[in-house]
Amino acid sequence: MNTPNKLTIFRTCMVPVFISVYLIDSIPYNNYIAAGIFIIASLTDFFDGYIARKYNLISNFGKFLDPLADKLLVNSALLCFLVVPGNPVPFWAVFVIIMRDFIINGFRLVASDSNMVIAAEYVGKIKTTVQMVMIILVLFDFDNRYIYTVENILIYMSVVLTIVSLVECLYKNRGVFKDTGGVAKMGCPDSAGRDVPMCDKQAKVLVELLREKGYTISFAESCTGGETVSLVVSVPGSSDVLRQSVVTYCNESKEKLLGVSETTIDNYTEVSAQTACEMADGVRAWAGSDVGVSVTGIAGPSGGSDGFPVGLVYIGISTPKNTNSFKFIFSGGRNDIRKQAAAEAVRLTIDTIR
């Protein structure tokens, strides 16, 4: 349990304390005390993210709990406003904000079925900050018409950012709704020798897209053994965008070179969504690139087991905004699986940064 996660847990535990203080009128100056509690809890939201990014302590637990803690804190305050008379926050605004969270939570649930982790979006963070500032002003209940005007502006801003962040999250992670549980639609030659995809063309598209956006990329591969970066290197001019590539075949190299947590591997194994995400985050941080791509899986012919069949592959893609993982079960021989996984990694990277 690292420091950012502890701060997030602390923020979660502050929620019932805040609710109790704010709703108990017999407590002197209860609204001011509640505002102080809310401010302290809100500050932990800034510090846990800052520490996690600065010291590379980003974890899947944090990606899950951090946005949840924000929602609990903000929504508890909004619901309290509905039962305490005299508050300026209208019912319809509370309804929109809370319904957005229900939709996102359902979306994350669908993503988890595919072992995909959806991190908080940048616009979502701005939305949460605006909501927190608005809530603090309402809690202090200043008797000033100018501050009242600011409160109303912040209420409308909160609703607009709520809707925008919802649309952005659904659009950027629209791959959640795609069925990825089979042979990739864009693999390389399959076991029958058929030339299914257009690997070279896709690699060229990726390089051109990276160059157009001014992005750099790095790769961390396990089962593909450098197959993915080989596709990129085959494109002339790839040196403009490629920062680094590493093959971390054993668990020790994943931990030492990429910073994958030993606990993650112990709990989820090296072939998992969690490991793929940490590999992608790790190689992006290590290389100092804008995009990090990881591939980990079981290429066979041996090594498969119940729940972990030969052909099971996880692809992780990390950007400054979020980190996602994608699960596939490819078919064919060892080299077929490696080629299909590499081609799918290129395709997913294009979809992510486009």
Q: Which two tokens stand for residue 115?
A: 């072992």
pTM value is 0.54
What per-residue confidence (pLDDT) applies to 254? 94
Strand pairing report for 312-318 and 291-297: antiparallel
Amino acid identity, position 342 = A
What per-residue confidence (pLDDT) applies to 184? 38
Strand partners, 242: 217
Gap between the Cα atoms of 71 and 12, Å rounded: 10
Gap between the Cα atoms of 93 and 112, Å rounded: 29
| Per-residue pLDDT in tens (0 to 9) along the chain, 354 residues | 789 889 999 999 999 999 999 999 899 999 999 999 999 999 998 898 788 767 757 666 777 788 888 889 999 999 999 998 888 899 999 999 999 988 988 887 776 655 455 655 678 878 988 999 999 999 998 888 899 999 999 999 999 999 998 998 887 766 666 544 433 333 344 434 434 445 678 899 999 999 999 999 999 999 999 999 999 999 998 999 999 999 999 999 999 999 999 999 999 999 999 999 999 999 999 999 999 999 999 998 877 776 788 889 999 999 998 999 999 988 888 888 999 999 999 999 998 988
Give the three-class secondary structure for 174: helix
Distance of CA 270 to the CA centre of its chain: 19
